[in-house]
């Protein structure tokens, strides 16, 4: 997941919204750590479960990483209270558990679903996972996810657009 995150960092730009879904321990935070490393942001990227959102400024003048965990948010009003739309244009925003909660923030988003193979008890980065990557909206219409396949971070059957 970390390698996929680093590869995705080369595709994202300020204003991008990435919506992550998958079960507990699927690798959403590890993927976000890879994005943070690829973007060269300040601070360790950890799960924002209890603080809901963290901002990691860039170390090199690039976009900040806004990392949100929407798991504990019970309504769209609570999502709106985070004011994510105020920083969206200048940052890369990654929302764990965002499916069904943050799509209204942007018509353009990258939706990533992660499934960990049944029976794997470890949260390690080497456990088998199935990852689906779908670009939504005009921003992603011309983006070739084939580079992720070439780098071996996703299977050819898992990338696509909607």
- Picking from 22, 21, 26, the residue whose alpha carbon sits closest to that of residue 1 is 26
- Picking from 98, 93, 134, 130, the residue whose alpha carbon sits closest to that of residue 114 is 130
Mean pLDDT of 123-137: 78
Under 8 Å between Cβ of 40 and 9? no
Q: Collapse the DSSP code of 94 into the 3-class scheme (helix H, G, I; strand E, B; otherwise coil) and give the result.
A: strand
pLDDT of residue 124: 53
Count up the domains in the chain and report the number.
Answer: 1
Mean pLDDT of 5-9: 94
pLDDT(73) > 90: no
- Any idea what the CATH number is for the domain that residue 28 is in? 3.40.50
pLDDT of residue 153: 59
Q: Which of 2-11, 101-110, 140-149 has the lowest mean pLDDT?
A: 140-149
Mention every residue, 6+ apart, whose C-beta is less than 8 A from residue 162: 111, 134, 135, 136
Question: Could you give the angle at the alpha carbon of 147 between the alpha carbons of 87 and 128, nearest 5°?
Answer: 90
Mean pLDDT of the chain: 84
Phi then psi for residue 127, to 5 deg, are -65, 145
39-69 pLDDT per residue, tens: 999 999 988 877 888 889 999 999 999 999 8
pLDDT of residue 53: 86
Mention every residue, 6+ apart, whose C-beta is less than 8 A from residue 149: 155, 156, 159
Question: Where on the phi/psi map is residue 76: left (φ > 0), alpha (ψ -120 to 50), or beta?
Answer: alpha
pLDDT of residue 121: 54
Query: Please, which pLDDT band fits residue 18 given cuts at 50, 70 and 90?
Result: very high
Domain containing 113 equals 2-161
20-36 pLDDT per residue, tens: 999 999 999 999 999 99
């Amino acid at each position: 997941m970390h390698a996929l995150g680093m590869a995705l960092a080369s595709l994202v730009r300020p204003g991008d919204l990435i919506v992550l879904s998958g079960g507990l321990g699927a690798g959403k935070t590890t993927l976000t750590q890879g994005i943070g490393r690829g973007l060269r942001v300040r601070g360790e990227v950890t799960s924002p479960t209890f603080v809901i959102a963290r901002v990691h400024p860039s170390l090199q003048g690039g976009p900040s990483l806004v990392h949100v965990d929407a798991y504990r948010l019970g309504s769209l009003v609570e999502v709106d209270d985070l004011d994510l739309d105020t920083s969206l244009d200048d940052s890369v925003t990654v929302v764990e558990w965002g499916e069904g909660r943050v799509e209204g923030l942007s018509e353009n988003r990258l939706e990533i679903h992660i499934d960990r193979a049944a029976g794997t008890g470890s949260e390690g980065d080497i456990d088998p996972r199935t990852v689906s990557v779908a670009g939504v909206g005009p921003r992603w219409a011309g983006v070739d996810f084939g580079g992720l396949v070439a780098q071996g971070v996703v299977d050819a059957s898992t990338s696509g657009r909607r």
